[in-house]
Amino acid sequence: MAMSLSPLNRTYSLNIGPVHRELPLFSVGPDLAIAVLNILGDTELTEAAAQALSLRLGDLEFAALVTAETKSIPLAHALSVCSRKPYVVLRKSYKPYMGEPLSAKTLSITTGAPQTLYLDGKDRQLLQGQKVVLVDDVISTGSTLSAMRELMSAAGARIVAATAICTEGDAERHSDVIALAHLPLFSL
């Protein structure tokens, strides 16, 4: 069963380059709230983040970007445009056209329910033996990132970086992630 997010009447300020957003706080448990970053439809923030992340990736050599459905797809697309590298989307549901996909389990803080990520058979061929950069909008518990890493290992891809607009929670836990900002967790 999906987790119920309860809106609070508070926000958290986030600046990505020249772009400012007030992120709404939502309760995700009896004593815990998070700032929700939703880039779907926010072209200005998505493009600012992609440009900044592209600079942070610098001269890093990689063949493709890899992201998970759904909210980080616009970021992967914009980063693909900046880097001129293709991107692959790990799907959250199996489709018959995927051939023989690889799969890994994850648990997102915003859904609260187990999910499965699938790597399409054709994308597996694209990634095999290649250097890749993992892309997410927000990395919180690290569950999605772990599933992405598991799939890349199974596909024979080499991860050279993980990147996100924001990390969330314990900053030390995500010290290896190239991120533009850090979101704290909020006690209620």
* CATH label of the domain that carries residue 112: 3.40.50.2020
Smallest CA-to-CA distance from 157 within 53, 62, 56 is with 62
CA distance linking residue 106 with residue 19, whole number of Å: 31
Consecutive H or E run containing 119: strand 114-119
What band does 1 get if pLDDT is binned at 50, 70 and 90? very low
Q: What is the pLDDT of residues 3-38, one digit of tens each?
A: 556 678 899 999 999 999 999 999 888 898 999 999
- Please give the residue range of the domain that contains residue 121: 42-182
The tally of domains found in the chain comes to: 1
Q: Report yes or no on 1 lying in a domain.
A: no
Q: Shortest CA distance to 78 belongs to which of 168, 163, 176? A: 163
Structural domain contains residue 116 = yes
Q: Is residue 145 within 8 Å of 108, Cβ to Cβ?
A: no
Read off the pLDDT band of 108 (50, 70, 90).
Answer: low
Asked whether 101 and 32 are in contact (CB, 8 A), the reply is no
The proportion of the chain whose per-residue pLDDT surpasses 90, expressed as a percent, equals: 71
pTM of the model: 0.92
End-to-end CA distance of the chain: 23
Q: Is 10 inside any structural domain? A: no
Judge whether 109 lies within some domain: yes
pLDDT, greater one: 171 or 182: 182
Nearest to 86 by CA among 133, 43, 46: 133
Question: At 138, which amino acid appears?
Answer: V
**Six-digit token pair at 139?**
């990395």
Residue 48, pLDDT score: 98
Task: State how far the alpha carbon of 40 is from the alpha carbons of 47, 49, 116, 119, in Å.
Answer: 12, 13, 21, 22
Residue 42 has a pLDDT of 97
* Average pLDDT rounded to a whole number, residues 35-56: 97
The pLDDT confidence band at residue 90, using thresholds 50, 70 and 90, is very high
Q: Is residue 90 part of a domain?
A: yes
Residue 31 lies inside a defined structural domain of this protein: no
Model confidence pLDDT, tens digit, residues 173-188: 899 999 999 999 998 8
Domain presence at residue 162:
yes
